[in-house]
Amino acid sequence: MTNPTRVPSGINPNVPNAARMYDYYLGGKDNFAADREAAEKIMALGPSRQICLANRWFLGRAVRFIANQGIRQFIDLGTGLPNQNNVHQVARQVHPNAPVVYVDHDPVVIVHARALLADVNGNTAFAHADIRDPGSILDHPDVEQLIDFSQPVGVVFLGVLHCLTDEEDPYRVVRAFADRMAPGSYLIVSHLTDDAHPEVGVAAREVYDKADTPLIHRSHERIARLFDGFDVVEPGVVHVADWRPEEPREEDPVGSEWWYVGVARKP
């Protein structure tokens, strides 16, 4: 994406973008010079690639777990750029026809999600919407077509709620979905924290302050509050490598302390 003639409409390649930075951490090519420069500053602070990979591996474990509990339909909020172990790929190992709706508002993600879905057979959709406006998602035509809220659903907030400021109120956003979810539904959350490295957290936030999306680290206590009204499954809200690890590990869980994750069931 270094050729300016290929820049999709509505994208400013001179402003770092969180999704493209994430892509760069994972060794992808869908990024610009501004993204790489900002990402290198973050990578100088710690093992960013391993931190991001740990989050992706958690997604696979969590989706597989709730699919094995009987969840057959999924909403992935703040999808980000396509990578390995996308929700539909994992869920359909258990339920081959599981409906999946991906949601994002980022124009970069829109372009790549459409390319991804072009090769996916049915029961998968991409909704262009912003999680700051939950109603626009819950009432989106693609969501209404594929998701039956009278039945249990898996709702995934993977690495997205830390992009919402306190004024944008991530608790309000989660509650809006919780209110619509049927009993027996599951919530999956991963959220960045700087509990173990507060000084590094300050430096990281300064980098993201110049990007198009902020970075809001939250404490264990504040992240655990996102599950209010749900029954959190064992082992609770924990560091990412400690959530039902599988052996052998793909890599050592370096940087696990940067993530708190959890899975919970609506009673």
Q: Over the stretch 193-236, which tens digit does the pLDDT of each residue have?
A: 999 999 999 999 999 999 999 999 999 999 999 999 999 999 99
Task: Output the pLDDT for position 4.
Answer: 39
Most confident among 14-18, 58-62, 84-88 (mean pLDDT): 58-62
Q: Looking at residues 95-109, what average pLDDT do you find?
A: 90
Task: Output the pLDDT for position 75.
Answer: 98
Q: Where are the beta strands (DSSP E) in 85-150?
A: 100-104, 124-128
Task: Output the pLDDT for position 1.
Answer: 47
What single-letter DSSP state applies at residue 101?
E
pLDDT tens track for 136-169: 999 999 999 999 999 999 999 999 999 999 999 9
**Packing angle of the helix pair 18-25, 107-117 (nearest 10 deg):** 60
- pLDDT level of residue 63 (50, 70, 90 thresholds): very high
Among residues 201, 203, 207, which one has the least CA distance to residue 36? 207
Beta-carbon neighbour count of residue 69 at 10 Å? 15
Residue percentage of the chain with pLDDT more than 70: 91
Long-range contacts of range 41-44, CB-CB < 8 Å, 24 or more positions apart? 41/207, 42/204, 42/207
Round to whole Å and give the CA distance between 42 and 46.
Answer: 7
Tokens coding 41: 């500053």
pTM for this structure?
Answer: 0.92
Give, in degrees to the nearest 5, the angle at Cα 153 between 166 and 73.
Answer: 120
Q: Which amino acid is at 223?
A: I
Q: Does 247 have pLDDT greater than 70?
A: no
Q: Looking at residues 167-192, what average pLDDT do you find?
A: 98
Residue 71 near residue 87, CB atoms below 8 Å: no
Residues whose CB falls within 8 Å of the CB of residue 90, separated by 6 or more in sequence, listed in order: 59, 60, 63, 64, 67
Long-range contacts of range 203-207, CB-CB < 8 Å, 24 or more positions apart? 203/45, 204/42, 204/45, 207/16, 207/38, 207/41, 207/42
pLDDT tens track for 127-145: 999 999 999 999 999 999 9
Percent helix, strand and coil across the chain, each rounded to 5? 40, 15, 45
